Amino acid sequence: MTTLTLPLLFLEETVVLPGMVVPIELDRESQAAVDAARLAAGQDQDARPRVLVVPRLGGSYAATGAVAEITQTGRLPSGEPAVVVRAVGRARLGVGVQGPGSALWVRAEQLDVPAPDERSYELAREYKSVLLSILQHRGGWQVIDVIQRITDPSELADTAGYASWLDNDKKLRLLETPDTAQRLTLLLEWARAHLAELEVAERIREEVRDTMDRTQREYVLRQQLAAIRKELGEDGDDADDYRARVEKADLPEKVREAALREVARLERMSEQSPETGWIRTWLDTVLEMPWNVRTTDTTDIAAARAVLDADHSGLDDVKERIIEYLAVRTRRAARGLEAVGGRGSGAVLALVGPPGVGKTSLGESVARALNRTFVRVALGGVRDEAEIRGHRRTYVGAMPGRIVRAIKEAGSMNPVVLLDEVDKLGSDYRGDPAAALLEVLDPAQNHTFRDHYLEVELDLSDVLFLATANVADTIPPALLDRMEVVRLDGYTEDEKVAIARDHLLPRQLERAALAPEDVTIEESALRSIASEYTREAGVRGMERAIAKILRKVATRLATETVAGPVRVEAADLRAYLGRPRFLPESARDASTPGVATGLAVTGAGGDVLYVEAATMDGEPGLTLTGQLGDVMKESAQIAVSYLRANGPRLGVPVQDLIRRRVHLHVPAGAVPKDGPSAGITMVTALVSLLSGRPVRTEVGMTGEVSLTGRVLPIGGVKQKLLAAHRAGLTEVILPRRNEPDLEEVPRAVLDDLTIHLVDDAAEVVRLALVDDAGAHAPAAA
C-alpha cells in the first residue's frame, strides 16, 4: 500500500466515490484545506493540489475517504467561494501529522483496486443490464449512453456515487470496499430491489390511470344517459326520486323533517361526492323503518295462556307474568291509555336460569301468545358499544345498531325482542355495551331512544324486551335494576318426562324422519334417561339422548327386518345409550369418614358438591385445594376454628387439628368455586374425620357457618333442592332462616325430600353423621 500525506476536507452528508467530479462550497475549514493543498502543490511544479475528502454522516466521521484533485476554483452564483474536485482513489485515514498551512493533515494509506478478473466482468454485465432498466424507468436517457460506453468494472461500480436511489450509508460501504467483485455484488442486490420497487410503482400507476380513465368514461356516459332520459321524459334523478318517496312515506313529523333536510343536501351535492352514497344509504334505512306499523295484540287471555302451556311445561312464574302484562295491556287499550305522556306499557323481563330450561324458546312462545313478531338479538361476546347504539355516519361502513336493525327486521314497532345472553356482554376500549342498553331497557326513557346512525327519536316503549341470562351476578347492577327478574331454576324429573313426551320426542321423530308408528319410547325409559343418563337443570342432554336412540332405531329399520314398531323400554337403554352415567348418591361408599355432600349453584344450575377432609403428619396448619375462592377459604378457616373451640362440647377429639396437618379438598379441582354456603359441609366433613363416624350418604346440606356455630341463610335454595332431588338424595339440611324459600320449590320435590331446618352446627352434626353404633341418626323433618 502507498502512504499519502494529505489535508482533510470534510463533507457533510455527502459521499464521493472515485471517478466523481463534484463542486464543493468552501467554508473556513474547507478553505484552509484547499489553501494547504495548493501550498503543498506549489513546492512541486508537476503536482496537482490534492485533498482527502472524508464524509461526515450523522455527526460521526468516516474512516475512509476519497483522494481528490482540485481541478477548478471559483465562486458560486451566490458569490460564495467553491472548488471542483475529481476523486481519483480511496484512502484509509491514519494518524495526524504536521503540514503547511492551518489545515488538518493526516497520513493515509491508499487502497489499491485489484485488477478485474472474469467474475468482475460477468458481474459488471449483469449490473449494467439492471442499471439500464432502472434508468429507463426513471427517464435517464442521456445517462444511458454514458453507462453503455463504460467498460471498466471498477469504474462502472463507482458510478453508483451519482445514484439518487442509494443512501449515504450504502455509498460509504462502496467507498470502503476496494474489491470490484464485492462492490458489484452489493450493487446488484440493491439495484434489483430498487428495480422491483419501480416496477410495482409503475404497475400501480397504470392501474390508477386505467381506473381514472374508466371512471371518467362512466361519468361521461352517465351524463349522456341522464340527458337522454330527460329528453324522453323518463326517470328523474335520485334526489327527485327520494323527495317523492319521503313525501309519500308515512313518517313521524320530526323524522320527515330530518329526511327532507338530507334530500335537500343530496340535491345540492355533486354526484361525485362520497357523501351522496352515505345520504342515500341513510335515507333508504329511514324509509325501510316501520315507523307507524304496529301489530294488534291478542285480547284473549285464555288463548294466550293455552299457547304458552302448549309450548312449555312448567315455568308457571314466567307464564303468569306474561299473562299479567297482557291483561294490563288489554285494559290500557280499552281505556285509551296506550300513549299517555308518550310512554307505552313496555315491559322488560329478564329470564335468568341455567342452560337448557327453555329461555330462548320461551321468547318465541310469548310472541305467538301476544300475536306479535319475534326478533332475537344475540349479545354473547358483544364488546362494542356501537353494536347497540349504531355508528356515526361519518365512519366508512357505518350502520344502525342491533336494536334498530331488529325493529326493521320485525317490520313493526311493537315486536317481542329477545336480548339473548345479556350476561355475556363484555367491555373494552370501544365502550361498554351494557351501559348503552340502559336507555334501551328503561321504560321511562326508551320512548325517545336515539341511535347514533339514525339521529332521530325512535319510540321503543311498545317493544316487549325479554333478556336471557344464565347468572344475574355478571349483569351490571344498573342494568339489572331496569329489568324484572324471573328465575327459571330447572325442572323436576316429572317435568322432564312430560317435556320429553310432549315436545322433545315429536321434534326428534320429525328430524329422524320417523313416524310415531315406527317407534315407541316408554315412559319408564324416559324416566330412566332423566335420572340415570342426564343430570342437568334443563333438558338439552335429554333431547340429545332421545336423538341418539332414534338414530339407532332408524339404522335398525334400514338394515334389519323389524316386525311392528320398535319399543324402547328402560331395560333397553344400555343397548342404545351405553351404561348409565349417574347413580343415586346413596350408592356411594358409606364407610369412609371425612366426606360430606354439599349443595351448590353454578351457571348450569344446582349441583352437588363434595368436601373431603384428611389429616397427616407434618407442620400443623390447614391446606386447601380445589380452586377455592377467598370466601370459601375463609369458611374453611372458620370451620377449623369453630371445632377447635367447641370440640369438647360436641364430643369430638380435636388434638389432630392442633398437632397435625389438615387438608380440605373440594372436587372437581379444575372448576373454580367460591361462596360461604359450604361452611356446614366443611364442619361436618371435619367432625366425621376426627370422630371416625361416616356421613350419611343420603344427606346433603348447605349453609354458612359462623365462628360461634350459628347456621346462616344462603341463596339458591330452589336450585340446590332440585339438584339434590336429581342426585337421589333423600334428606337435606338447610338454615332455618331459609324456610320461606321452600314455598318456591315444586311440591313433587318437597314430597320426596326430608328437609331439616337448623340453627346451630351441632344440629347439623347430629343429623348428618352415623351414630356410634353404626345406625343412622333419627330423621326429623
Which amino acids are annotated catalytic?
Answer: 677, 720
Give the H or E element holding residue 543: helix 540-559
Could you give the dihedral angle defined by the CA atoms of residues 235, 238, 242 and 245, in that order, rounded to the nearest 10 degrees?
20
Q: Of 154, 111, 148, whose CA–CA distance to 133 is shortest?
A: 148
The CA distance from 389 to 486, in Å, is 26
Show the cell assigned to 348.
322488560
The CA distance from 316 to 328, in Å, is 18
Residue 521 contacts residue 505 (beta carbons within 8 Å): yes
Q: Please give the span between the terminal C-alpha atoms of the chain, in angstroms, as a whole number.
A: 112
3-state secondary structure of 587: helix
Q: Of 590, 634, 640, whose CA–CA distance to 768 is shortest?
A: 590
Instruction: Specify binding-site residues.
Output: 353-360
SS (H, E, C) 150-172: CCCHHHHHHHHHHCCCCCHHHHH
Q: Of 382, 309, 317, whose CA–CA distance to 351 is shortest?
A: 317
Q: Of 130, 131, 145, 89, whose CA–CA distance to 112 is shortest?
A: 89
- Edge-first strand order for the sheet with 621-625 is 621-625, 661-665, 605-616, 595-602, 699-701, 731-735, 754-758
Q: 315491559: which residue's cell?
A: 347
Look at the chain and count its residues: 781
The CA distance from 245 to 496, in Å, is 54
For 133-155, letters b (16+ CB in 10 Å) and e give: bbbeeeebeeeeeeeeebeebbe
- Sign of the dihedral defined by the CA atoms of residues 73, 74, 75, 81, in that order: positive
Could you list the beta-strand ranges (E) of 471-527.
484-487, 519-521
Instruction: Specify binding-site residues for ATP.
Output: 353-360
Helices of type H across 651-704: 655-659, 679-691
- Helix, strand, coil shares of the chain, percent, nearest 5, are 45, 20, 35
Q: Of 92, 96, 105, 108, whose CA–CA distance to 7 is shortest?
A: 105
